[in-house]
Amino acid sequence: MNSVSVLQWIKNHLGPIIRQALSARPGTIYTEDWLAAMAYRETGFLLHRYIPRKYSFEKISELMHGDYCQRKGETKKSYHGYSFWQIDTGSYPDFISSGDWKDPLKSCIKAIDVLEEKRKYLLTRCRLKGDELNRAITAAYNCGQGNVIKAVNKKLPIDYYTFNRDYSQQVWLFRKEYSVLKETGVEVNR
């Protein structure tokens, strides 16, 4: 299974949900390809595992928890991200404990709200604009807006504090791949 086939799976299964979430949050800057690419960047490693097993969409939705590790100050390992968009347990514990992360629509809406929170914070603390601001918002989703501001102030790449130092760069690459799929309308067996 390659990235194109997983992105096609995302298009087939999450595309309609993403569009519905975007209609629930009119006026935001986010797009279907942006949110789909983030879902791939966040949970592609899980999708590469579960799609070939022919799990149902509902079962895969319930298995979307990752980042299993022991964080500083914790006594044991636990999951720290939930849903296709890996909503963080430390930042949004009420959302996670509610179980709403299992609902892809609610999770997508939450991801939009998290991105918007990052955007509003960055707008008050830096002068980035256009694509550079959008990349910063995306990087902040991964490493926090404070780390993005620190990178900007130190004149480091926006992704400097993200996982593998390439988060927004990867999301932008996946956006392009997804957009090609969307335009061609190629379907993959469900």
Q: 101: domain CATH number?
A: 1.10.530.10
Question: 10 in a domain, yes or no?
Answer: yes
Decide if pLDDT at 164 tops 80: yes
pTM (two decimals): 0.91
Domain that holds residue 42: 3-184
Contact 104, 59 (CB under 8 A): no
Token pair for 45: 């490693």
Q: How many folded domains does the chain comprise?
A: 1
Least confident window among 83-97, 141-155, 170-184: 170-184
Q: What are the E-state strand segments in 33-109?
A: 65-69, 78-82, 87-88
Contact 146, 117 (CB under 8 A): no
Question: 78 in a domain, yes or no?
Answer: yes
Measured CA to CA, the distance from residue 21 to residue 13 in angstroms comes to 13
Question: 105 in a domain, yes or no?
Answer: yes
10-38: pLDDT as tens digits: 999 999 999 999 999 999 999 999 999 99
Question: 101 in a domain, yes or no?
Answer: yes
3-state secondary structure of 187: coil
36-71: pLDDT as tens digits: 999 999 999 999 999 999 999 999 999 998 765 555
Residue type, 14: L
Question: 73 in a domain, yes or no?
Answer: yes
Question: 138 in a domain, yes or no?
Answer: yes
How open is the CA angle 138-11-43, to the nearest 5 degrees?
50
Question: 190 in a domain, yes or no?
Answer: no
How confident is residue 90, by pLDDT bands cut at 50, 70 and 90? Answer: confident
Question: 189 in a domain, yes or no?
Answer: no
Contact 165, 159 (CB under 8 A): yes
96-144: pLDDT as tens digits: 999 999 999 999 999 999 999 999 999 999 999 999 999 999 999 999 9
